[in-house]
Amino acid sequence: MIDPLLLRDDPDLVKRSQIARGHSPETVDAALAADRERRAAIAAYEEVRAAQNAFGKTVAKAPKEEKAALVAEAKGLAEKVKLAQQRVTDAEAAAEDVIGRIENVIIDGVPAGGEDDFVELRRVGDIPSFDPASFPDGPRDHLALGELLGAIDMERGAKVSGARFYFLRGVGARLEIALMTMALNKALENGFTPMIVPTLVRPEIMRGTGFLGEHADEVYRLEADDLYLVGTSEVPLAGYHKDEIIDLSGGPLRYAGWSSCYRREAGSHGKDTRGIIRVHQFNKLEMFVYADPADAEAEHLRLLGWQEEMLQALGLSYRVIDIAAGDLGSSAARKYDVEAWVPTQGAYRELTSTSNCTTYQARRLDIRHRRETGRTQHVATLNGTLATTRWIVALLETHQRPDGSVVVPEPLRPYLGMDVLEPVS
């Protein structure tokens, strides 16, 4: 939820943000009107409540013979107070609903537009080339390699669970665990607390993180239990300190959540149906940070830097892009994607992203810290992926050899216990 003071003091800034996201600025006018009605209802309630308190003192001091009439009048005032209180409740709910529809205000410099309007910030690493003499049919894709290595089994995944499910077996399972463990060590080196998180959360937690907005159809729901399966450990980690005042005097609180993640991939029919690029279940190590809002942009760049260090260590060619406003999630004020080169697609594909959600999620979940003045302030929340199943795609394709074997990047070898992944068939 955006800051109500910002909404009142600088509605034009909020409108510009909505327009950059591709939304109507009329939502801001509706929110301002709802906020005015809420404040008017509160003022009316306080006025009638003050009158009730004053009249109560009058009744207490009145002669016995006058009290019967005054008590009847007091009951009338009590009814007015009750009605005024209900108007406050209704007005607050209406204001929360309307203001909650406004997405986070983007940070200065975020490009306007939609999915194709990102700004490329840099490219790192040489795009891998494959000698036609050694690869007469071109490089194999990750699924062909995965099948040769006995690492990926899509056919049985579909048999057991349906489309977009899979088994990682043998070196495939070992490779994912090695990637995740390498990422966990990177997180530990940088002050993160490791967390194994619940992957089922209550509606208020899912809603508080902003995942029940326009992309709610991506989320799995267990109706009988009124619980949601998370698509990222960002969700339970954001809810971890709900309704708390946390201590940031020693710097940001950094958590690294290891979890399975679930996404319905609604609306992606026909996209990336081959292999494990776009699937319903995957594993991920997610960085999540609670920070002083004044330090949030610097922390965002730190998260991005750690992601880049991981991809460089794995010998992957990648680019960093600044996502356009219309392609941001509702909670993100800025998001960087890191896209690795996938040789058989001849394109960069997203492997990881990192978002600065400023105070948007913390306002919904009421997470604060105490400033030096003693007053509390909502914290900023940030997130970023440090390793996930999809990384296997770029890793296999980039480091393949003509016989179908795959060279393991040297920094990954201690975690995997292998220098080369050899075909089994």
Catalytic residue numbers?
Answer: 263, 278, 350, 353, 390
Helix axes 26-61, 11-20, angle to 10 degrees: 140
The confidence score (pLDDT) of residue 230 equals: 96
Which pLDDT belongs to residue 65?
64
pTM of the entire predicted model: 0.91
User: For 63-103, what is each residue's pLDDT tens digit?
Assistant: 766 666 777 777 788 888 899 999 999 999 999 889 888 99
Q: Is the Cβ–Cβ distance between 350 and 338 less than 8 Å?
A: yes
Contact 257, 286 (CB under 8 A): yes
Query: Would you list the domain boundaries of the chain?
Result: 4-100, 119-421
Residue 313 corresponds to which tokens in the numbers above?
Answer: 């260590």
Write out pLDDT tens, residues 141-199. Answer: 999 999 999 999 999 999 999 999 999 999 999 999 999 999 999 999 999 999 999 99
Residues of the chain with pLDDT > 90: what percent?
A: 82
- Residues 266-302: tens digit of each pLDDT: 666 667 789 999 999 999 999 999 999 999 999 999 9
Q: What are 5-52's pLDDT values in tens digits?
A: 899 999 999 999 999 999 999 999 999 999 999 999 999 999 988 888
Class in CATH terms, 4-100: mainly alpha
User: What CATH number matches the domain at 119-421, 3.90.1530.10, 3.30.930.10, 1.10.287.130, 3.10.20.740?
Assistant: 3.30.930.10
Per DSSP, the residues of 66-133 read: HHHHHHHHHHHHHHHHHHHHHHHHHHHHHHHHHHHTSPPPPPTTPPPSSTT--EEEEEESPPP---TT
For residue 315, the tally of other CB atoms under 10 A from its CB is 19
